[in-house]
């Protein structure tokens, strides 16, 4: 199977919305009047973002999901994406499974593949995703205000719990691992919530490198600090709810929920006066949200334990070169 | 140097045109009214597209140039690009040189870096480039008509000549190698010509995998065939003009010009009645163009030698998995 047959067979689908899709030098996109185009690129590298023996269907899902999560974080509606793919060899079964996972998620969010590149080399996936957002309404990192509530969607830390178990750093009961592993391998981009938060959230991003590190980007961009309630964040580790997990150490829970990474949940701020609006946006998008703390004038992040004392922070956000 | 410092230091520049650039979850683009957005992604992999010891400044140039060449091929004006970069380590000198080469070409074409991703892994560069083109005026591959002239810009085959010499498949006089190597390492995207050809060319693409293979894409998309004059294409190898190169074998000249690859010249078709308009577009964009043949109804490509006989075609376009 040659390069062009591979593209035709697994990655060329007719486009319905874009004026021109796969097969020319460029794809053409035409955002509707009054709309800005939101763009994000994410690259996934074997051995860094996934194991060499990863299920290719799950990888197809995840490669697109982590990009869609960036659109969710700015409140954009998905339109299209490009895929640049470096593959060690043209393996038909692998490509079929990968494209099944990719297109299943794409169809779910009405996001069409419009172009890309295929090359031979170490396994590497680079997706660039395009969405539209009404001009001036994109959710940014820079709008958090002192007194705002800090919210996160869904649950936190289960992906990291699964990763540590897969790396044999600790054991998990099989039923718990299966569920946590799904969070690691099949993250859910919170697109409906992101769009519902337009005009409500004062800042927003998606948690990919760990809550505290990513929240730090909001704090830096907004020139503020934050106080987080560890009693609440500890409750966000879904695996903890399993009866077999009652003995899980608090330090591990904190490491997973505060600095786990790979969550792809939204972390956002909103004025206290918008609490009802936030809860309505959550209900409308069928996405649970939890208020975990508050924006303060004092720079930095303080995490307060149930007894009222401040937790020593030994966590850093994931850094590829640290 | 950590990931975020690396981004800040080498890859974060203020944006002037785009509403939002590097540093948020998404960049925001706003094409002008009446414009479509042209999008293309290209991935460059160490060992496939460049040598491990490549000069990083030249690599920065080439990574963006091959993407801009796709915009040129559809007649678009560059606006912005994203860069996803997988690096073995955070090497400041390498990053500085790479970003120097990248931003020098970007500045030349008023194309701003708006976002991307940085990760650790085998050296791999994925650029997605954005341009704008008036709605309905993009140059496509599908418009070639029987009787149209076939044109190429600039010169053909010198990049391949240099590559073969660097791979020690043949020797070249140092002065010839230096010039040919520049074509390999610092290709010139033909942006001004592409834009000048809007409304004139009936089809267009950029020659990256070799003339005959790429012309084949136009022929397939347009449902036509072509006849090429080898006497003319042989004259397009720039190195041939050097006195020391008079003895270069015709078979090597044909291999380089017809199937060399890495040329990043435009190959386009236009009605015979548009010859004056084509020459004016070439003059206006200060880009030499040469008519090399004609579109015919009979499918396939025929290359005619100076004696009138048809050359046997043993060339195939570059295929990553063939």
Specify the CATH number for the domain of residue B170: 3.90.650.10
* A181/A124 same-domain check: no
Residue A39: inside a domain: yes
What pLDDT score was predicted for residue A150? 98
Instruction: Give CA separation, A190 vs A264, A266, A287, B161, in Å.
Output: 8, 7, 8, 51
Interchain pair B89, A321: CB under 8 A: yes
Q: Which of A23, A28, A118 sits opposite B138 (nearest CB)?
A: A28
Q: Contacts of residue B46 in chain A, CB cutoff 8 Å?
A: 121
- At a CB cut-off of 8 Å and minimum separation 6, what does B69 contact? B187, B189, B190, B206, B208, B264
Among A31, A70, A119, select the one facing B26 at the smallest CB separation: A70
From B89's Cα to the closest Cα of chain A, the distance in A is 7
Binding residue per annotation — A24? no
With respect to residue A310, please indicate whether it lies within any of the assigned structural domains.
no
B193's tokens: 């010509």
On whether both A156 and A120 belong to a single domain, the answer is: no
Specify the pairing of strand A112-120 against strand A77-87: parallel
Task: Find chain A residues with C-beta within 8 A of B45's C-beta.
Answer: 86, 119-122, 124
Assess whether A290 and A171 both reside in one domain: yes
Helices (H) and strands (E) in chain A, counts: 10, 11
Distance CA A201, CA B78 (A): 33
Spatial CA neighbour of B320 closest among A322, A309, A87: A87
d(CA A277, CA A152): 15
Mean pLDDT for all residues in chain A: 90
In a shared domain, residues B158 and B71: no
Helix (H) or strand (E) holding B183: helix B174-185
Q: Pick the range with the lowest mean pLDDT from A8-17, A135-144, A278-287.
A: A8-17
Q: How far is CA A83 from the centre of its chain?
A: 18
Residues of B with Cβ-Cβ distance to A195 under 8 angstroms: none
A320 confidence band (pLDDT: 50, 70, 90): low
CB A8 within 8 A of CB B83: no
Q: Is A319 annotated as a binding residue?
A: no
- Torsions phi, psi for A190 (to 5 deg): -90, 60
Same domain membership, residue B213 and residue B70: no
Q: Is A298 exposed, middle or buried (0-12, 13-18, 19+ CB in 10 A)?
A: exposed
The residues, ordered by sequence, that sit 6+ positions from B247 with a Cβ below 8 Å of its Cβ are none
pLDDT at A26 over 90: no
The answer to whether residues B287 and B204 belong to one domain is yes
Out of A103, A134, A165, a domain closes at A134
Same domain? B155 vs B276: yes
Quick one: what percent of chain A has pLDDT higher than 70?
A: 97
Q: Are B38 and B76 in contact (CB under 8 A)?
A: yes
DSSP β-bridge partners for residue B29: A37
| B204 in a structural domain | yes
- Write the pLDDT tens digit of every residue in B100-153: 999 999 999 999 998 888 888 889 999 999 999 999 999 999 999 999 999 999
Cα gap B322→B318, rounded to integer Å: 8
DSSP, res B12: -
Residue A54: CATH number of its domain: 3.30.1330.10
For B217-254, give one letter per residue: b (16+ CB within 10 A) or e: bbbebbebbbbbbbebbbbbbbbbeeeebeebeeebbb
B309: buried, middle or exposed (CB in 10 Å: 19+, 13-18, 0-12)?
A: exposed
- Min distance A120 CA to chain B CA atoms (Å): 6
- Both tokens assigned to A35: 């709309």
Secondary structure class of A29 (helix, strand, coil): strand
- DSSP letters, B90-147, are --HHHHHHHHHHHHHHHHHTT-EEEEEEEEESS-EEEEEEEEEEETT----SS---TT
Is B313 a domain residue?
Answer: no
DSSP for B20-72? Answer: B-BTBSSEEE-PPTTEEEEEEEEEEEBTTTB-TT--HHHHHHHHHHHHHHHHH
d(CA B39, CA B287): 24
Distance from CA of A200 to the nearest CA of B (A): 18
Contacts of A87 in chain B (CB under 8 A): 321
Full residue range of the structural domain in which residue A91 is found:
3-134
Chain B residues within an 8 Å CB radius of A264: none
Instruction: Tell whether B160 and B291 lie within a shared domain.
Output: yes
Torsion of CA A180, A262, A192, A116, to 10 degrees: -120
CB–CB contact A82 B128 (8 Å): yes
Give the one of B3, B124, B131 whose C-beta lies nearest to A321's C-beta.
Answer: B3
Ligand-binding site membership of A262 (annotated):
yes
Residue B322 covered by a domain: no
Are A19 and A126 found together in one domain?
yes
Residue A144 lies in a domain: no
Three-state DSSP at A220 gives helix
Give the integer Cα–Cα distance in Å for A79 and A91.
Answer: 29
Highest mean pLDDT among A42-56, A184-198, B297-311: A184-198
| Domain count along chain A | 2
Rounded Cα gap, residues B31 and A198, in angstroms: 22
Q: Is the pLDDT assigned to residue A7 strictly greater than 90?
A: no
Nearest C-alpha of chain A: how many angstroms from B245?
A: 34
Q: What is the pLDDT of residue A197?
A: 98
Both A160 and A261 in a single domain? yes
Question: What backbone phi and psi angles, to 5 degrees, belong to B169?
Answer: -85, -20
Maximum mean pLDDT: which of A6-10, A242-246, A284-288, B44-48: A284-288
* Dist CA A244 CA A318 (whole Å): 29
Contacts of A10 in chain B (CB under 8 A): none
Residue A34, marked binder: no
Q: Is residue B11 part of a domain?
A: yes
Q: Which of A2, A84, A140 is closest, CB to CB, to B24? A: A140
Q: Are residues B205 and B279 in the same domain?
A: yes
A202 is in an annotated binding site: no
B117–A41: do the CB atoms touch at under 8 Å?
yes
Given pLDDT bands bounded at 50, 70 and 90, which one contains residue A4? confident
A-B contacts at Cβ under 8 angstroms:
226
How far from B263 is each of A1, A80, B65, B128, CA to CA, in Å? Answer: 25, 30, 11, 20
Radius of gyration of chain A (CA): 20
Report whether A42 belongs to an annotated binding site. yes
> What is the residue whose two structure tokens read 């785009």?
B18
For chain A, strand residue ranges (E) read: 27-29, 35-45, 77-87, 112-120, 124-134, 149-153, 203-207, 225-229, 265-270, 289-296, 300-304
Residues A180 and A271 in one domain: yes
Predicted ipTM of the assembly: 0.86
Q: Residues of A with CB below 8 A from B86's CB?
A: 43, 45, 124
For residue B47, the chain A residue with the least C-alpha distance is A121
Q: Three-class SS of residue B287? A: coil
Q: Give the position of tokens 């009866």.
A: A243
Q: Is the Cβ pair A43, B206 closer than 8 Å?
A: no
Distance from CA of A75 to the nearest CA of B (A): 10
User: b/e per residue, B285-296, with b = 16+ CB within 10 A?
Assistant: bebebbbbbbbb
Domain boundary among B102, B134, B166: B134
Q: Taking 70 as the threshold, does the pLDDT of residue A301 lie above it?
A: yes
Task: Tell me which chain A residues have a C-beta less than 8 angstroms from the C-beta of B141.
Answer: 23-25
Q: CA–CA separation, A54 vs A62, rounded Å?
A: 11
State yes or no: B318 annotated in a binding site: yes
Q: Which region, left, alpha or beta, applies to residue B239 given φ > 0 means left and ψ of -120 to 50 means alpha?
A: alpha
* Pairwise CB contact (< 8 Å): A25 & B70: yes
Residue of A nearest to B27 (CA): A39
Question: What stretches in chain B show pLDDT beneath 50?
Answer: none
Structure tokens at B309: 């006989």
d(CA B299, CA B280): 30
Do the beta carbons of residue A101 and residue A132 sit within 8 Å? no
Contact: B74, A3; criterion CB under 8 Å = no
Q: How far apart are CA A65 and CA A59, in angstroms?
A: 9
Number of residues assigned to chain A: 322
Task: Find chain B residues with C-beta within 8 A of A47's C-beta.
Answer: 121
Residue B316 inside a domain? The answer is no
Helix and strand tally (H, E) in chain B?
Answer: 10, 11
Q: Would the pLDDT of A30 be above 90?
A: no
- Coil, strand, or helix at residue A89? coil
Nearest residue, CB atoms, A43 vs list B23, B25, B86: B86
pLDDT of residue B322: 58
- Write out pLDDT tens, residues B71-111: 999 999 999 999 999 998 888 899 999 999 999 999 999 99
Structure confidence at residue B314 (pLDDT): 66
Q: Could A6 and B321 be called an inter-chain contact, meaning their C-beta atoms sit closer than 8 Å?
A: yes
Structure confidence at residue A43 (pLDDT): 92
Give the tens place of pLDDT for each residue, A133-142. 999 999 999 9
Which pLDDT belongs to residue B168?
A: 85
């Amino acid at each position: 199977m040659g390069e062009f047959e591979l593209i035709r067979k697994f990655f060329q689908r007719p486009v319905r919305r874009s004026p021109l899709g796969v097969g020319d030098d460029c794809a053409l996109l035409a955002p509707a009047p009054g709309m800005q185009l939101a763009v994000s690129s994410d690259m996934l590298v074997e051995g860094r973002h996934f194991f060499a023996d990863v299920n290719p269907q799950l990888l197809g899902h995840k490669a697109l999901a982590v990009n869609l999560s960036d659109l969710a974080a700015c409140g954009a509606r998905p339109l299209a994406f490009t895929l640049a793919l470096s593959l060690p060899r043209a393996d038909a079964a692998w490509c079929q499974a990968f494209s099944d996972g990719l297109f299943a998620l794409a169809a779910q969010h009405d996001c069409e593949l419009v172009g890309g590149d295929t090359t031979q080399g170490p396994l590497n996936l680079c997706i660039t995703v395009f969405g539209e957002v009404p001009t001036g309404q994109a959710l940014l990192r820079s709008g958090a205000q002192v007194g705002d509530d800090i919210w996160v969607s869904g649950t936190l830390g289960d992906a990291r719990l699964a990763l540590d178990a897969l790396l044999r750093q600790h054991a998990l009961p099989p039923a718990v691992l299966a569920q946590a592993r799904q969070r690691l391998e099949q993250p859910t981009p919170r697109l409906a919530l992101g769009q519902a938060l337009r005009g409500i959230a004062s800042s927003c991003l998606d948690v990919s490198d760990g809550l505290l590190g990513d929240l730090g980007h909001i704090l830096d961009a907004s020139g503020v600090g934050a106080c987080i309630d560890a009693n609440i964040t500890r409750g966000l580790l879904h695996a903890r709810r399993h009866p077999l997990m009652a003995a899980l150490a608090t330090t591990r829970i904190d490491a997973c929920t505060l600095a786990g990474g790979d969550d792809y949940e939204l972390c956002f701020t909103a004025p206290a006066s918008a609490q009802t609006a936030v809860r309505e946006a959550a209900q409308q998008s069928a996405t649970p949200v939890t208020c975990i703390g508050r924006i303060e004038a004092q720079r930095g992040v303080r995490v307060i334990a149930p007894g009222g004392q401040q937790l020593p922070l030994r966590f850093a956000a994931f850094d590829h070169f640290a």
